[in-house]
Amino acid sequence: MEKQTPLTEALFYILLSVRKPNHGYGIIQEVEGLTKGRVVLGPGTLYGAIQTMTARGWIRIYSEETESRKKKEYIITDLGRKIFAEEKKRLAELLQNAEKMEEGTW
Amino acid sequence: MVKFKLMFNKDKETDYLNEMAKQGYAMTGFFAGVYTFDSCRPGDYIYQVDITEGMFRVSNDYREFMQEMGVEIICLWGPWVILRKKAAEGPFVLYTDVESTIEHYQKIKKMFKIATIVEIMCIMTELISAVRMREESGMALPLGFACLMAVFPLAFFREIARVEGILRELRERIGMESARNAWTGIGRLSGFFSLGLILHAIGFLIPRMDGSGWLSMVQEPAKEAFHVLALIFMIVGLVLTMRGHRE
């Protein structure tokens, strides 16, 4: 199995955006909002990420169809949450160590 | 409007389609190098070219996804998908981070490698059938086709080398090592070499005529002239390629 963390920024934010059921366009908007417009996912990037994460079992399809409009919704799985938690731990360590920079030189 | 253009470089093709759209021509179809255009309001659409796993088809997943994004699938050609979006709906870029762009170009490189192998096998078949011919006149046709077909692997090599260059730059940007390889060298193969091959093919494909008459008088020298010219072009091509390597 290939190394799965650190997550790419795209995977990280997509996982975060499907903590509750969300569809493709909704994910793009949420990520854009969370990053204040810094990360705007292109359709190719998002499609590839969804395919990869579905195959790895990090996310799954939540609902396929809603009456007339076909709109797939995705939601994070338990495995996805585990991966995200590991990444969060790693990021926390980075941030904690980053504080040392303020302690000055010795 | 109909235009003929052979393009192997997907980035150039994207630029071309967007330039046409800017001038009020929206691409609507493609078949073997022939692009068809409808008129549109200048700048109405943004075009993008994607590559998928399938040939001449995309998965339902892909189709539904693009539809939800407001992206229209205009046509499929081999593994290529030509997409467009209304410019009024905002910017349209398919791959927005380094990681997915790397994946995209890796797919393209793999496709060109497979295409090259298939093409070389076809050339071999032609050459074998040429060798099997007893008479010289029978050899001309397969030899001519083999020369014509050889132009494609050369174009594919250039593409592989170009894509390899892009990949190296992208990998460097995220601190990934990329293995050194020979593609860049082959990619600099001069265009003269391909031209030589085409001239050879024309030389082979000019039919040999029996009997007298001015046509048959002209034909033999013309055939020879094409072959000689072809050789000159190929030698120039090789020399230029070597020079390119030294620089």
pLDDT digit string (tens) for chain B, length 247 residues: 899 988 899 999 999 999 999 999 999 999 989 999 999 999 999 999 999 988 888 998 899 999 999 999 999 998 999 999 999 998 999 999 999 999 999 999 999 999 999 999 988 888 888 888 777 677 788 888 888 888 888 889 889 989 999 999 999 888 877 666 656 556 566 677 777 778 777 777 777 666 666 667 777 777 788 788 878 877 877 777 766 655 4
Q: Who among A10, A24, A72 is closest to B100 (CB)? A: A10
A5–B contact, CB cutoff 8 A: no
Contact B95 A47 (CB under 8 A): no
CA dihedral B16, B101, B165, B9 (to 10 degrees): -20
Q: CA-CA distance, A8 to A84, in Å (whole number)?
A: 11
- Write down the CATH number for the domain with range A9-100: 1.10.10.10
Enter the DSSP assignment of A103. Answer: G
A103 contacts: CB under 8 Å, gap ≥ 6: none
B8–A contact, CB cutoff 8 A: no
Residue B156 half-sphere exposure, CB side, CA atoms within 13 Å?
Answer: 18
The pair of three-digit structure tokens given for residue A55, joined into one six-digit string? 């195959």
The secondary structure element, H or E, covering residue B29 is strand B25-31
Q: What is the pLDDT of residues B159-170, one digit of tens each?
A: 998 999 999 999
Helix (H, G, I), strand (E, B) or coil at B125: helix
Query: What's the predicted TM-score (pTM) here?
Result: 0.84
The secondary structure element, H or E, covering residue B2 is strand B2-4
How close B123 comes to chain A (CA, Å)?
A: 36
What are the residues facing A15 on neighbouring strands?
Answer: none
Q: What is the pLDDT of residues B58-70, one digit of tens each?
A: 998 899 999 999 9
Q: Would you tell me which residues 31-60 of chain B have a C-beta closer than 8 angstroms to some C-beta of chain A? A: 48, 50
* Chain A residue with Cα closest to B93: A42
